[in-house]
Each structure stands twice: as structure tokens, then as C-alpha cells.
Amino acid sequence: MEKVQIYNNQEEMWKQLGREVYRNNFKNGGTFGNLYKKAMLEYKEESGFNMRFLEAQGKKKTSGSTFLPAQVALHKDEQEKFNEVYHDLGNGLEQKVLVSLFTEGNKYSFGEGNRGELLNSFEEGADYDNITSLAQGVKEELSKIKYFGIIFSPIFYTTKEEVPIAPEHISNNPEGFLRQFTEDAKKDSALSVEFNNLFLDGLRDFAYSKDKIRGLNEVECSEFERLYNPNTI
């Protein structure tokens, strides 16, 4: 049964849990990287990619730099064939996914607590009205994480700290903050007026927000555990 671990703050979580998760994920990621390199060399040789590439390069008759097949990435269709052939390359390997549970204002949310070492990731979720929809949203999103047969195991956590959505230096001077962004946006001609307006509207809500980000309390954690593990007593 997946439990929600409660920490005082993010720093405590990282010291007691995150560092070890990072080390294990990084180690398993390195193991997979070696398997991937070996499989890619094997695929390029057995599929005839090496021969086709060398023949094509020889026909160009350029005086510039030449490359070995191992140095060249596969085209999209060829990469898809590789992915299909080696879909279970990572069988037996595990990556632990740190999932942070929290609220923003009166809405429940979740996010990734890892620090970039995951071989695949997931989209953060927000704006859930209750624990039921939060648990369902987390389950659906985590089910999408697939990468060469690797097992992605969630570790749920939350923190007791409350943090303002808008940092103090912004909430103390929201107009100054918005003025600077408005001026910068106007200078960027690559952005459409419609995009700028939508972006600035969202930024305005952020700058003037008095809401806080807080972790789940013990009752909410128990409810999440029950809903996420419906068949566990």
C-alpha cells in the first residue's frame, strides 16, 4: 500500500528521502544508458543501417568531415522501429518517482519532486476539487509513464509548511512586477498580442494572489491513501 510520507519542509524531505532516491535513480539510469548504447549498436548493424549510411555518405563525395554510423542519430521512423524491437530493454530496472501532494488556495494539486534524474517524467496536475479527484488524477498521470519496460514506482509525500503562491517581493509590489513584464513582452515581437494578453492575465492573478501552498494534513493523507489503494485493507 502506497503511504503518504509527511515532512516539515522540502529540505527535510530531500535530506531524509530525496538524496537516496536520486542516487538510486541515477545509478539505474546509468545502467540503462549502457544497455541502450549496446542495443543501438546492435540494431544499427543488424538492421543494415550501418551499410546504408556508409553507402549514402560515400555517394556525397564531400571533402568535409565524415561520421561513423555510431555517431549518427536515427531518423524518426527508424527510431520508432528500434523502440518497438527493444520495448522491454529496461525490464528489471526501477525508477522511483517522488510525487508531492499539496493544495494551492482551495484546490488540490500534485507535482514531481525529483531533480532531473528520471528517465521519463509526468505532467503536474492542479485544480482538483477534492481528494477523490486528486487520487484519480495522480493515478491516471502516473499510468502514462512508460519507458522501455522500466518500472516507475511512486513515493508520495507532503510537507507541513505553508508558502505564499506569490513571493513577498512580488506581493509587496505587484504593479512594479507586472509593469516590468509588460514592457519586456512588448519588446518581444515574436509573441502575438493574444498570447501576451493571456500571459499577462495569468501573471496578474499570480501577482495579486493571497493564497498559499500548503501540504495535506493527516486526515487528507489517510483519505488519499484509501482512495489510491481501494483494494487494500
What is the predicted pLDDT for the residue at 233? 47
Average pLDDT over residues 77-104: 96
The amino acid at residue 214 is R
**Is 90 exceeded by the pLDDT of residue 3?**
yes
User: Which cell numbers hold the place of 13?
Assistant: 524531505
Tracing cell 513582452 back to the chain, one arrives at: 185
User: Which cell numbers hold the place of 32?
Assistant: 540503462
| Cβ-contact 122, 112 below 8 angstroms | yes
How many of the other CB atoms lie within 10 Å of CB of 122?
20
| pTM value surpassing 0.75 | yes
What is the predicted pLDDT for the residue at 191? 58
**Is 70 exceeded by the pLDDT of residue 193?**
no
pLDDT tens for each residue of 136-151: 999 999 999 999 999 9
Residue ranges of domains in the chain = 1-160+215-233, 168-208
The amino acid at residue 26 is F
What is the predicted pLDDT for the residue at 99? 96
Instruction: Please state, in angstroms and rounded to a whole number, the distance separating the CA atoms of residues 55 and 145.
Output: 38
Average pLDDT over residues 207-219: 90
pLDDT tens for each residue of 32-88: 999 999 999 999 999 999 999 988 887 665 556 678 899 999 999 999 999 999 999
Residue ranges of alpha helices (H) inside the chain are: 10-13, 19-46, 49-60, 76-85, 131-142, 168-171, 174-187, 193-208, 218-228
Instruction: Please state, in angstroms and rounded to a whole number, the distance separating the CA atoms of residues 122 and 138.
Output: 10
